[in-house]
């Protein structure tokens, strides 16, 4: 542990005050983010793993519904490829890149590009159906809000 004298602390504070405002804001944000993430890291990691398992599970259901007969050990990596492609921010709801990546991944795995596109479309439709109750509740909330005004 480094012990600083009063003069050293004052010099340190003066140096910090000389830094640009954007630098101080960036440093403060980084420190707060670090404190927040480190304080909640186990919960964040656990919830992230649960969310990933849910998405992979939905992909496996979609593959089963599409009639793909492949072992889990082959489908799970393909699901992760599809999830990574969906995260590319050049689409709406993952449509487009997910189908292209899944077609290429299924073809590379020897399952056929057509099966990959089919599984991807079924996945997208299942995800859309799963999100529908949330959309209905948002519309209903807005309707109630408009009537009350």
Read off the pLDDT of residues 30-65 as tens digits, 9 standing for 90 and up: 888 888 777 777 888 899 999 999 999 999 999 999
Summarize pLDDT for 10-25 with one digit per residue, the tens. Answer: 666 666 667 788 888 8
Task: Report the distance separating Cα 121 and Cα 138, nearest Å.
Answer: 25
Residue 3 pLDDT grade (very low, low, confident, very high; cuts 50, 70, 90) = low
Query: Can you give the three-state secondary structure of the chain, one letter per residue?
Result: CCCCCHHHHHHHHHHHHHCCHHHHHHHHHHHHHHHHHHHHHHHHHHHHHHHHHHHHHHHHHHHHHCCCCCCHHHHHHHHHHHHHHHCCCCCCCCCCHHHHHHHHHHHHCCCCHHHHHHHHHHHHHHHHHHHHHHHHHHHHHHHHHHHHC
113 close to 103: Cβ distance less than 8 angstroms = yes
């Amino acid at each position: 542990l480094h012990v600083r004298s009063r003069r050293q602390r004052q010099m340190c504070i003066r140096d910090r005050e000389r830094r640009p405002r954007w630098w101080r804001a960036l440093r403060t944000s980084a420190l707060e983010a670090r404190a927040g993430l480190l304080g909640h890291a186990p919960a964040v990691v656990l919830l992230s793993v649960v969310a990933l398992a849910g998405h992979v599970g939905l992909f496996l259901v979609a593959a089963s519904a599409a009639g793909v007969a492949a072992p889990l050990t082959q489908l799970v990596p393909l699901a992760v490829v599809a999830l990574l492609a969906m995260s590319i921010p050049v689409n709406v709801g993952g449509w487009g890149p997910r189908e292209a990546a899944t077609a290429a991944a299924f073809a590379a795995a020897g399952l056929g590009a057509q099966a990959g596109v089919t599984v991807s479309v079924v996945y997208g439709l299942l995800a859309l159906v799963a999100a529908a109750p949330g959309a209905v509740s948002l519309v209903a909330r807005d309707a109630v809000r408009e009537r009350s005004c």
